[in-house]
């Protein structure tokens, strides 16, 4: 492999070796409860017929895939010349828990474990502050608690939620993130779990295939909400990262939203620009799973419509079943577009 490109990977799913890893970081009563019964994260009930985790990512030292920092460096960062890896974890389901204090306790313990076991031991990793959006005031407090760590570069939460993320109850999260210069990311996968809504506007799909295909729809709904509720007017320095939701729906959404805004703008008088302009200026998207049309020129056309080279960032989604490597996607882009998508957009966003 001849890969001269520098790479930043914005979505690596580090894992705990076991829920017992969090015990040292949990206060009572959560310490005893987690020790006795596990983390308590709700499942969504959609089982992939081929499994979600790549078997060949399991570290020789034992434990689940992506739970051994040394092996992750050797298996992903070194072979693909990844300079920095943004760790996003796999506990985004805290937002779907029924008890907001339980969710906050798990989040805090995970964040402390992340700092001690990953960020302070490996210079190439950067962390995302995990929060549950269920109680936005607790989430904002957690952001305040963790934001000063120099290797915490953003906030992460699940896109499976009780409500659309532009709505006012969530604004304390954005206020705290903006104040600390941190971007806020969402990640799919918890749709339909616990206290979240059914994963489509017509209820529960039957299989993982339909469920996974429909995850992008939730992204469209959140993005519409974020723009229309005026989040980017209220928090003008906020950057929002939509991880793993695809991108080929963006032309549709921008056009439909702009068109509707022209007719209905009296209902959102706080907006001062076209909805699509807020998306272009405030939102970034990750590559995996990039849509792959039979004719690759079609994807290039979509890229042109959304100015992809300025809003897209490479992600591997390691160690998941459908993960990408830098050498196998986006082959037809210009060298400049590749440099931005593989490296510069993330470097600027995360101040690396």
Closest Cα to residue 87, out of 58, 128, 143, 53?
128
Q: Which DSSP state fits 25?
A: G
The least CB distance from residue 171 to a copy of itself, in Å, is 13
Which residue lies nearer to a copy of itself by CB, 85 or 199?
Answer: 199
Residues 6+ apart with CB under 8 A from 68: 17, 59, 61
Per CB under 8 A, the segment of 6-14, 29-37, 109-117, 254-262 that binds a copy of itself is 254-262
Out of 202, 270, 331, 335, the only residue in the binding site for a copy of itself (CB under 8 A) is 202
101 close to 165: Cβ distance less than 8 angstroms:
no
Element (H, E) at 258: helix 250-264
Nearer to a copy of itself, 153 or 241 (CB): 241
Q: Under the criterion CB under 8 A, does residue 2 sit at the interface with a copy of itself?
A: no
Q: Write the interaction track for a copy of itself spanning residues 283-322; mark x where CB under 8 A is met and - where it is not.
A: ------x-xxx----x--xx-xx---------------xx
Smallest distance from the beta carbon of 227 to a copy of itself, in angstroms?
A: 9
Residues with Cβ within 8 Å of residue 269, at least 6 apart in sequence: none
The residue range among 33-41, 106-114, 136-144, 195-203 that interacts with a copy of itself, by the rule CB under 8 A, is 195-203
Among 122, 256, 280, 347, binds a copy of itself (CB under 8 A): 256
Instruction: Give all strands of the β-sheet with 7-12 in edge-to-edge order.
Output: 7-12, 82-87, 125-130, 152-158, 183-187, 240-242, 283-286, 312-313
Cβ contacts of residue 325 below 8 Å, gap of 6+? 80, 316
Spatial contact of 277 and 348, defined as CB atoms under 8 Å apart:
no
Q: Is 119 in the site for a copy of itself (CB under 8 A)?
A: no
Q: Does 268 bind a copy of itself (CB under 8 A)?
A: yes
Which residue's CB is nearer to a copy of itself, number 68 or number 309?
309
User: Which parts of 12-62 fold into alpha helices (H)?
Assistant: 30-37
- DSSP H or E stretch at residue 10: strand 7-12
Query: Residue 143 has which token pair?
Result: 């952001």
State which of residues 224, 286, 316, 345 lies at the interface with a copy of itself (CB under 8 A): 224
Minimum Å distance from CB 114 to a copy of itself? 26
Chain positions 8 to 67 lying near a copy of itself, rule: CB under 8 A, are: 48-50
327 binds a copy of itself (CB under 8 A): no
Q: Which is nearer to a copy of itself, 163 or 337 (CB)?
A: 163
Q: Can you tell me which of 13, 212, 320, 340 binds a copy of itself, judged by CB under 8 A?
A: 212
127 DSSP β-pair partners: 87, 152
Of 33-41, 123-131, 143-151, 243-251, the window that binds a copy of itself (rule: CB under 8 A) is: 243-251
Contact letters for a copy of itself, residues 136-175 (x by CB under 8 A): -----------------------xxxxxxxxx--------
Q: Which long-range contacts (CB under 8 A, 24 or more apart) does 274-282 make?
A: 275/224, 275/227, 275/228, 278/227, 278/232, 278/233, 279/223, 279/227, 279/250, 279/253, 279/254, 279/311, 280/306, 280/307, 280/310, 280/311, 281/232, 282/232, 282/238, 282/239, 282/240
Binding site for a copy of itself (CB under 8 A): 48-50, 159-167, 191, 196-210, 212-214, 216-218, 220-222, 224-225, 228-229, 246, 248-249, 251-257, 259-261, 263-264, 266-268, 289, 291-293, 298, 301-302, 304-305, 321-322
């Amino acid at each position: 492999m001849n890969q001269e490109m520098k790479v930043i990977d914005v979505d690596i799913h580090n894992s705990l070796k076991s829920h017992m890893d969090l015990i040292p970081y949990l206060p009572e009563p959560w310490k005893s409860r987690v020790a006795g019964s596990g983390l308590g994260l709700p499942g969504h009930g959609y089982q992939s017929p081929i499994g979600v985790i790549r078997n060949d990512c399991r570290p020789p030292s034992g434990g689940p895939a992506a739970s051994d920092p040394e092996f992750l460096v050797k298996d992903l960062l070194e072979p693909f010349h990844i300079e920095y890896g943004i760790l996003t974890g796999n506990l985004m389901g805290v937002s779907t828990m029924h008890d907001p204090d339980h969710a906050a306790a798990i989040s805090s313990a995970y964040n402390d474990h992340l700092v001690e076991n990953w960020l302070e031991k490996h210079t190439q990793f950067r962390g995302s502050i995990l929060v549950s959006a269920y109680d936005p005031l607790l989430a904002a407090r957690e952001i305040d608690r963790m934001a000063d760590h120099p290797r915490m570069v953003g906030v992460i939460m699940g896109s499976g939620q009780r409500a659309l993320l532009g709505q006012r109850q969530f604004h304390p999260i954005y206020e705290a993130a903006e104040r600390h210069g941190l971007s806020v990311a969402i990640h799919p996968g918890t749709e339909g779990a616990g206290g979240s809504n059914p994963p489509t506007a017509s209820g529960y799909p039957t299989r993982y295939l339909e469920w996974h295909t429909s995850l992008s729809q939730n992204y469209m709904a959140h993005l519409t909400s974020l723009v229309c509720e005026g989040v980017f007017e209220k928090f003008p320095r906020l950057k929002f990262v939509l991880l793993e939701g695809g991108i080929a729906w963006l032309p549709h959404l921008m056009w439909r939203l702009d068109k509707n805004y022209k007719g209905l703008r009296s209902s959102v008088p706080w907006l001062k620009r076209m909805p699509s302009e807020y998306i272009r200026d405030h939102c970034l998207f990750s590559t995996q799973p990039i849509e792959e049309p039979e004719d690759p020129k079609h994807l290039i056309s979509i890229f042109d419509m959304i100015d992809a080279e300025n809003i897209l960032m490479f992600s591997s989604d390691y160690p998941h079943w459908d993960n990408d490597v830098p050498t196998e996607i986006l082959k037809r882009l210009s060298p400049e577009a590749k440099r931005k998508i593989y490296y510069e957009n993330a470097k600027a966003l995360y101040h690396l």
